[in-house]
Amino acid sequence: MKLFSHHEFDNHEQVVFCHDAASGLKAIIAIHNTNRGPALGGCRMYPYASEAEALNDVLRLSRGMTYKSALADLPLGGGKSVIIGDPRKQKTPALMRAMGTAVERLAGRYIVAEDSGTSVADMQQIGQMTRHVSGIADKYDSQGNRRSGDPSPMTAHGVFVGIRSSVRHQLGRSDLQGIRVAIQGVGNVGQHLARELHRAGAELWVSDINSEAVERMVDELGAIPVSGKEVVNLDVDVFAPCALGAVLNDETIPRLQARVVAGAANNQLEESRHGQMLAERGILYAPDYVINAGGVIDVCYEGRDIGQSEVLHKVNAIGDTLDEIFRRAQRLQRPTHEVADQLAEERFLNRQAAA
C-alpha cells in the first residue's frame, strides 16, 4: 500500500497507523498541516472495504480540515482519524478508550472530535484517556438553553447560511420561501438542516439509506421521499449533499438539474476537475470545506471564554466568506473550488500558529 506516492498524499506531516489487539482497534490518524495550530478533526468509524480505502478517506478528509480551519480563520491545523469497523456492531467503550490512548500518544498535535459513526458519548470515552478531545462539553445557545457538545446543529446552521448566500448569488433571491431543495442524507446534520430550511419556507425532497430517518422528515416536515439515485436527477433549485463524499463525478454531474450545489458532505468532488465541470454547466458550487465549517468552529471554541452568541456570529460569517469566493470566482472566471483553495492556502502555507 502506497503512502508518499499515494494520489491523495498532499505533504501530510504525519500518518499514524494504530492497533490495539485487546479491543480490536484498527485506526489511522492523519495530520495534514499544523502551521496555524494543532490539527483538529473528527474520528470517523466506518466498515471500509479495505485498508487502502480507509487510507484514501483519511488523507482526503485531513487535507480538507486544514483548508476548512484556514478559511474559518481558526487557530487550528487539519487532521482526521478513521476507525475501520461497523459502528453498529463493533464499537465498544474499550475500543474508544484505545482510540483515546492513540490520540494521547500524539501529545496534542491532533485533537479528536466526533464524526460519522461516532458520538458525544464516544468522545467522552476517548476523553478518559486523553485531554486532546473536543465536542464533549455542554454548550448554551443564544437564548441560554443548554445543548449537548454535538456540533451537528452548528454544522447544519453554517450550511443553511451558505445555501442562502448561494441562492442570492445564483438565483437573485433574498429569501428561501418556495426554494426547492433536495437533501441527500438526513443523518444528524441533514435533519437539522432540513428543519432550518423548512422554517425558512423551502420545499424539501429527502433521501437516505436509513428509511426511518427519511420517514421522520416526511412526518415532521412534509418532505417528499426519494431514492438515493433519484435525488440527483430532481428538478430543484438546490442539491444539498449531506452524506458521504465523491458524489459529484462524471456520472452524476450530467444528471444534475439544480442550479446550486451546497451541502454538508466532505470531499464532494470526486476529482478536482469536477469543479470545472460544474462551472461549465453553469452550476454554482459552494465548496464543501467552506460551507460545512460550522461544526469545527463550534468545537474550536469549546472551553474558551466565548459566548454562544459570538460562536453563532462566527458561523454566520460563513456566508460572508462564500460571498467573497463567489465574487472573486465570477471576476476571475474561475471555478469556485479553485478560488477557495487559493484563499485557504494564502492563510496556512508557511504560516506559524495563528494568535
pLDDT above 90 as % of the chain: 82
Cα 2 to Cα 6: distance, rounded to the nearest angstrom:
5
Residue 78 belongs to what H/E stretch?
strand 77-84
- At 308-326, the pLDDT tens digits run 778 899 999 999 999 999 9
Task: Please report the pLDDT score of residue 150 as a whole number.
Answer: 77
Cα 229 to Cα 232: distance, rounded to the nearest angstrom:
6
**Which residues of the chain, if any, have pLDDT below 50?**
142-143, 352-355
Contacts of 238 (CB under 8 A, 6+ apart): 163, 166, 167, 179, 180, 181, 182, 258, 259, 260, 261, 262
Task: Please report the pLDDT score of residue 239 as a whole number.
Answer: 98
Structural domains of the chain, with CATH: 14-66+76-136 (3.40.50.10860), 147-348 (3.40.50.720)
Closest residue by Cα to residue 191 from 233, 164, 165, 219:
219
Cα 274 to Cα 146: distance, rounded to the nearest angstrom:
41
Catalytically active residues, by annotation: 80
Q: What are phi and psi of 111, to 5 degrees?
A: -110, 125
Task: Please report the pLDDT score of residue 353 as a whole number.
Answer: 42
Task: Please report the pLDDT score of residue 50 as a whole number.
Answer: 96
